[in-house]
Amino acid sequence: MKALFLYGLSLFLFCSASLADTLTIYSYRHYESDVLLFDKFTEETGIDVKVVKSKAGALLERLKAEGDQTPADVLITSDAGRLHQAREAGVLQPIKSPFLEQRVPVNLRDPDGYWYGFTQRARVLVYAPDRVTEDELSTYEDLAAAEWRGRLLVRSSANVYNQSLLSAMIDSNGKEQAREWAQAVRKNMARAPQGSDRDQMRAVAAGLGDVAIVNTYYLGLLANSDNQKDRAVAAQLKVFFPNQSARGTHVNVSGAGIVAGSDHVEAAQQFLEYLATDQAQSVFPGATFEYPVVAGIEWSPLQQKWGTFKADAISLTRLGELNSDAIRCFNLAGWE
Ligand SMILES: [Fe+2]
């Protein structure tokens, strides 16, 4: 049944090849595996893909400035906070796709079809097992406890991954508690927030702190790095999925939406649908260590080793709506 369905889809993709010669993608992602995937799309549909890569903020500004004159057809970016921002800025247009609605879980896409998540990542605790035991860890909330003083590592609050995590906490616990949490975690940090998620893990491995808050795929990237030092960092660390007994671990997505000024809407929709096929979904776990959004796609051995987990089922749109509240909480809490 599934095979028939996918065969039908690829026929459909093939038949509409003449609709657009080139699709222009503005992408914040910078993975070689994305390029290989887009080549596959071209092979199947005859539609060429041109990718313009830049920082997330720069892409949004560019789309705003270009308006109807934009050459872009699709925007790809990470984090629901950014996708929501793009919708609010008026640079995306909604599409109705029964295929995407069936494939992408309802909480991982915009309710009106402005954007769709196509990979998932969990924001987890990574720890040094020689200094922390698994049973000492439980929830994000617990990181506010005095026992973690001087032991936590996490990047700046200017980063959208932290903003979305705090948005989820505001939704669950209220603004006041979220602000108090941010204040306590700031006090518990081993150093002022700096660097990337990968830098936090390097600092744990170097003994600067004991627990880092990071996105799962960065551990995968360290573990599979060309750099022997980074592989050694990953080998020293363990993953803990927080909040398993209640709302679940915070997850977010990389997602895509069709640009409001696109002249190739049908081809752009085919492209988004392609990202949700079994073929595309099964590339991500092994290539970028992101989780698929479609159920039943096999995880990479490394992800299987980290283990299954309960994910927070909050609608990611809600994280976008709460983003400015989260930024305010961080500022009040003194988390730079
Ligand atoms: Fe990232």
**Average of per-residue pLDDT across 116-129:** 98
Residue 17 has pLDDT above 60, yes or no: no
**Average of per-residue pLDDT across 293-319:** 97
**Average of per-residue pLDDT across 120-124:** 98
**pLDDT category of residue 175 using cuts at 50, 70 and 90:** very high
| pLDDT digits 0-9 by tens, 54-66 | 999 999 999 999 9
Decide if 16 is inside a domain: yes
**pLDDT category of residue 20 using cuts at 50, 70 and 90:** low
Report CA 229 to chain centroid distance, whole Å.
25
End-to-end CA distance of the chain: 52
**Residue 17 CA, ligand 1 centroid: distance in Å:** 33
Quick count: other Cβ atoms within 10 Å of Cβ 116?
25
60 and 196 fall within a common domain? no
d(CA 107, CA 310): 14
**Residue 3 CA, ligand 1 centroid: distance in Å:** 33
242 and 326 fall within a common domain? yes
| pLDDT digits 0-9 by tens, 267-297 | 999 999 999 999 999 999 999 999 999 999 9
Q: Point out which residues pair with 22 in neighbouring strands.
A: 48
Decide if 317 is inside a domain: yes
Decide if 161 is inside a domain: yes
**Residue 63 CA, ligand 1 centroid: distance in Å:** 21
Residue 170 has pLDDT above 60, yes or no: yes
**Residue 78 CA, ligand 1 centroid: distance in Å:** 7
**pLDDT category of residue 152 using cuts at 50, 70 and 90:** very high
Q: What is the CATH number of the domain that holds 29?
A: 3.40.190.10
| CA angle centred on 105, ends 11 and 2, rounded to 5° | 35
229 and 265 fall within a common domain? no
**Residue 196 CA, ligand 1 centroid: distance in Å:** 9
Residues 290, 254: contact at Cβ < 8 Å? Answer: yes
| CA angle centred on 103, ends 102 and 106, rounded to 5° | 70
* CA-CA-CA-CA torsion sign (294, 297, 299, 304): positive
Residues 222, 197: contact at Cβ < 8 Å? Answer: no
Decide if 303 is inside a domain: no
Helices (H) and strands (E) in the chain, counts: 16, 10
**Average of per-residue pLDDT across 136-149:** 98
39 and 172 fall within a common domain? no
Residue 259 has pLDDT above 90, yes or no: yes
**Residue 53 CA, ligand 1 centroid: distance in Å:** 14
258 and 241 fall within a common domain? no
| CA angle centred on 260, ends 163 and 269, rounded to 5° | 95
What's the structural domain count of the chain? Answer: 2
| CA angle centred on 81, ends 199 and 204, rounded to 5° | 15
Residue 15 has pLDDT above 60, yes or no: no
**pLDDT category of residue 9 using cuts at 50, 70 and 90:** low
73 and 207 fall within a common domain? no
Residue 8 has pLDDT above 80, yes or no: no
Decide if 275 is inside a domain: yes
d(CA 269, CA 137): 43
**pLDDT category of residue 14 using cuts at 50, 70 and 90:** very low
Residue 198 has pLDDT above 50, yes or no: yes
Residue 19 has pLDDT above 70, yes or no: no
133 and 37 fall within a common domain? no
Decide if 306 is inside a domain: no
The pLDDT assigned to 1 comes to: 42
125 and 112 fall within a common domain? no
223 and 149 fall within a common domain? yes
179 and 273 fall within a common domain? no
**Average of per-residue pLDDT across 227-254:** 98
Decide if 15 is inside a domain: yes
Average pLDDT, the chain: 94
**pLDDT category of residue 39 using cuts at 50, 70 and 90:** very high
Single out the residue of 171, 205, 204 nearest to residue 190, CA to CA.
Answer: 204
| CA angle centred on 193, ends 75 and 235, rounded to 5° | 80
State which residues form the domain around 286.
2-119+253-298
**Residue 161 CA, ligand 1 centroid: distance in Å:** 8
**Residue 246 CA, ligand 1 centroid: distance in Å:** 26
Decide if 149 is inside a domain: yes
Residue 204 has pLDDT above 70, yes or no: yes
102 and 14 fall within a common domain? yes
The pLDDT assigned to 30 comes to: 86
Residue 10 has pLDDT above 60, yes or no: no
**Residue 9 CA, ligand 1 centroid: distance in Å:** 31
11 and 156 fall within a common domain? no
**Residue 199 CA, ligand 1 centroid: distance in Å:** 12
- Torsion angles phi and psi, residue 141, rounded to 5: -55, -40
The full 3-state SS of 271-299, as one line of letters, equals HHHHHCCHHHHCCHHHHCCCEECCCCCCC
Instruction: Tokens for 191, please give them.
Output: 């150093």
